[in-house]
Amino acid sequence: MELCSLTCSVWQKVLCYIKSCRFDAQYIPFTIREVRDFISYWVSEVLPNAKYLPELFDCDDFASLFRALMVRHTGKNAVFFVAGALYYGDEFLGLHAWVAVVTVKGVYFIEPQTGDMFPAKCHAESRDGFYYDTLFFIG
């Protein structure tokens, strides 16, 4: 799947193609079970020890740590750092970082600060009502 197709506008697609970086020649997709098992591990073992510290250990650090541990834990690499815009309703909350995983059933976004997993798309909505608009991927 072409990840930049998940962006919302032509401008975002152009930015995505320019800024996105893929470091591996081949990506091994996850099963849904593998993703859910890792999220369970993440929520029970990692999140209790990961304290949010504004500007020091915040969204980009949670996303980077999630990505690194998922690759290490599963031996698969189809997990990407995502940078984009975060909204609640129509209110722009600011730039944000999260992860995208490519599975055999499609692409999903994961919010590393909560473990919430939801289908990746333009203006993707999490279970708690936040909207995620992708700008670019790194992975």
Give dist(CA 117, CA 128) in Å, integer.
Answer: 11
- The number of distinct structural domains making up the chain is 1
Query: Which residues form the domain of 132?
Result: 3-138
Predicted local distance difference test score (pLDDT) of residue 14: 80
Write the CATH number for 34: 3.30.460
Total Cβ atoms within 10 A of residue 100: 24
pLDDT digits (tens, 9 = 90+) for 74-98: 999 999 999 999 999 999 999 999 9
pTM: 0.93
Q: What is the mean pLDDT of the chain?
A: 93
Predicted local distance difference test score (pLDDT) of residue 87: 97
Mean pLDDT by 10 residues, the chain (139 residues): 79 80 91 98 97 94 98 97 96 97 96 97 94 93
Predicted local distance difference test score (pLDDT) of residue 1: 52
Residue 29 amino acid letter: P
Mention every residue, 6+ apart, whose C-beta is less than 8 A from residue 63: 81, 82, 97, 98, 99, 112
Predicted local distance difference test score (pLDDT) of residue 128: 95
